[in-house]
Amino acid sequence: MRLRPWPSIVVVLAAALIALLTYGLVTQGPSRALDSAIAKHVYLPAPDASRPLPVLDRVDATTASLHRWRGRIVVLNFWAQWCSTCIDEVPLIERAQRALVKSGEGTVVGVDYKDISSYARGFIAAHGLSYPNIRDGDGSFAAAYGTDALPETFVLDRHMRVVAISRGEVPSEAWLQGAIAFAKRV
């Protein structure tokens, strides 16, 4: 009987590749600590809330930390100029900002993620964003939120605790309004 080594070699190579990918996912995957906590109705403090980040727009300072908005509801929206889905959700985020400003209860804070700053400023101007935006050039602030894909949105209550998360595009206006309403009463 003739021995055929190739199928075995292919299987071994495939197994090695899967093992390598699994190792990569386990060791380098984004943190989901905030999501797990919310699932248990535990609301953790917003990570890196006191860390100053460069300001892009609408803050009269060169750097700002989230603590600047302590005592208010904050809708933290991670975006980038190169992210097409981020453009899709701009109108919804902008409407949320107008409602929050009108009620005086909070604000949207945009976080520009791993972007060219001049392009990011162009995005703000092109889409007429009326909320403050800060920059996370190296993505380390986003990493603290387990963010490695865009867009992602976190709703913080007045005590700077994360009470709702949308990984990916905000599912609907109702979801965002519900999350903001929840942040007001939690």
Partner 1 sequence: MRTRVAVPLLAALALAAPAAPAFAAIPKTSLHAIEVQVMCVTCGIPLQVAESPAADQERQFIQALVNQGKTATQIKQALVADFGSAVLDLPPDKGFNVLFYILPIVFVLAGLAILTILLPRWRRNRRPPPPAGPTGGGVSQADAERLEQDLKRYDP
Residues that bind partner 1 (CB under 8 A): 6, 10, 13, 20, 80-84, 114-117, 119, 137-140
Taking the complex as a whole, how short is the minimal distance between the CB of residue 137 and partner 1, in angstroms?
5
Quick one: 5 or 128, whose CB is closer to partner 1?
5
112 or 157: whose CB is closer to partner 1? 112
Helices (H) and strands (E) in the chain, counts: 6, 7
What is the Cα–Cα distance from 20 to 35, expressed in whole angstroms? Answer: 26
Burial class (CB in 10 A: 0-12, 13-18, 19+), 38: middle
Closer residue to partner 1 (CB): 62 or 84: 84
Contact 56, 138 (CB under 8 A): no
What Rg do the C-alpha atoms of the chain give, in angstroms? 20
Tell the smallest beta-carbon distance from residue 138 to partner 1 (Å): 3
Least distance to partner 1, CB of residue 82, Å:
4
CB of 78 to partner 1, least distance (A): 12
Per DSSP, 46 falls in state P
